[in-house]
Amino acid sequence: MSQYENVIMLPQTNQLKCLYTIIRDRNTRRGDFIFYSDRIIRLLVEEGLNQLPVESCQIQTPLGVAYDGHKFQGKICGVSIIRAGESMEQGLRDCCRSVRLGKILIQRDEETATPKLFYVKLPEDIPERYVFLLDPLLATGGSASMAVDVLLEKGVKEERILFLNVLASPEGIEVFKKKFPKIKVITGMIDQALDEKKFVVPGLGDFGDRYYCI
């Protein structure tokens, strides 16, 4: 768990520590980076699903016995912040068949570290869904905040948004939670700080470059 309200950190198991050591290593080959990042992303999606509300339902087992079970209260969709966020889409598909996906393109000005919105494509019924916002890194919180602003403008309720990220900075969490206290942030690990260039430290480099580039 995390010290921040509505911020859920994956259990820091021996397995998770080893996975993060691999993806942080500058000498890790791209194929291994993808493989072990995908394992972490799958864990994040599973935890996100754990946070969704359920309701009671009754089904019949193959033996003709009534069983009092549960089902999710509503449909979900994933929204990735292009391009690094797209790396998390397959992990969501692996857990949720035929899940709807949306995309938001936000690019950061490298000199000012401020985000700019370029492209939005979302499911028409997104206000009725729970949204998994996908972006591997929460650094300054600027891009994620802008993406949430877009979702809110489209009618999504704040409490229906879950923000999944592989790695987060304390500064980014502070900014994000101050603006959106009702959103659950689900992260694998919280790092030490941001450096003078607004990069997460010790970090793992540019996630998108390492995931997509040879």
User: By C-alpha distance, which of 152, 127, 140, 146 is closest to 195?
Assistant: 140
83 flagged as catalytic: no
Tally of CB atoms within 10 A around 67: 10
What is the rounded distance in angstroms from the CA atom of residue 127 to the CA atom of residue 21?
A: 38
191 flagged as catalytic: no
Residue in 25, 109, 195, 209 annotated catalytic = 209
What is the rounded distance in angstroms from the CA atom of residue 164 to the CA atom of residue 154?
A: 20
Structure-token match 């509300």, residue found: 53
Crossing angle of helices 30-50 and 14-24, in 10° steps, is 140
**Distance from CA of residue 78 to its chain's centroid?**
9
Q: Which helix H or strand E contains 169, and what residues bound it?
A: none
CB 144 within 8 A of CB 138: yes
Residue in 24, 39, 83, 108 annotated catalytic = 108
Structure-token match 């936000």, residue found: 106
Phi, psi of 72 (to 5 degrees): -65, 145
Residue in 24, 83, 94, 206 annotated catalytic = 206
68 flagged as catalytic: no
Residue in 109, 112, 125, 195 annotated catalytic = 112
Active site residues: 108, 112, 206, 209
